[in-house]
Amino acid sequence: MSTPLTPRQQAILEFIRDRIGQGLPPTRGDIAEAFGFASRSAAEQHLRALADKGAITLNEGRARGIQLPAAQRAATARTPIKTLPLIGRVAAGQPILASEQIEAQMAVDPDCFRPRADYLLRVYGDSMIEAGIFHGDCVAVHRQPEADSGALVVARIGEEVTVKHLERRGPSIRLLPANPAYAPIVPADDQEFRIEGLVVGVLRRFDQPS
C-alpha cells in the first residue's frame, strides 16, 4: 500500500482480516453494524477507498466479495478485533448489560479510554448538550458503583437510567443536567438510586440522519 490508511480505514481493514480469518469476509451490512454507519452505502465508500489504496480487492456483484492481497493474507491469523457492547434504551428494572439490552457489538477498543470502558450507552434527549453530549451520541462507560461529586455518571433512578453530573452535599444527592431548560433531579427517599458507572468518553456518528 503506497498511500497510508486513515485510522478508520485501518480499523475496517482489521475487521475484514478478522472476519476472513474466521472463515468468511464481512458483508457491507456487517461493516455498517460494527462501525455504527447509518447505511451500507457508507460502508461501501470505505471499502472503495481501501481498494483504491490497494489494501483490498473487490469482486463486484458479490455480497462477500472482499479479498486481501496475497501479501496480507498471512495477517488474518491475529487477535480478534476488540469490541464494546452498545446499550440502547434500558428496560425498566433490567440490568444494563443483560443480553436483551445489547443492540450490537461495536468495533471500539475498550483500552482507548481511561479508565477502561465496559460498554457504550446511547443517549436520548438534549439535557447534556452543554457537556458536549447530544441526542444520538454514545457515551463510553466504566462500571463502578461510586463517584465523586462533580463526576459525569450513568445513574439509575427508579425505573430510569440517565446521564448527569453528580452533586453530593453531605448525605443529599442531586443529578445535574447540562442544559438550563432542565431542572436538577433529586431522588426521592422511596426511589431506587444507584450509580451504574462513570462516563469516560463520547462517540458521535457524523453520518446519522438529522
The full set of domains in the chain, from first to last, is 7-76 (1.10.10.10), 84-203 (2.10.109.10)
Q: pTM for the full model?
A: 0.64
Taking the C-alpha atoms of residue 150 and residue 128, their distance in angstroms, rounded to an integer, is: 14
Q: Centre a 10 Å sphere on the Cβ of residue 201 and count the other Cβ atoms it contains.
A: 15
Q: Where does residue 49 rank: exposed (0-12), middle (13-18), buried (19+ CB within 10 A)?
A: middle
Taking the C-alpha atoms of residue 28 and residue 47, their distance in angstroms, rounded to an integer, is: 9
Which residues are catalytic, by number? 127, 164
Taking the C-alpha atoms of residue 53 and residue 12, their distance in angstroms, rounded to an integer, is: 13
Task: Split the chain (210 residues) into runs of 10 and give each run's mean pLDDT.
Answer: 79 87 85 88 92 88 81 56 87 81 88 94 95 95 96 93 95 95 94 94 68
Helices and strands (H, E) in the chain, number of each type: 3, 10
Cβ pair 140, 120 in contact under 8 A:
yes
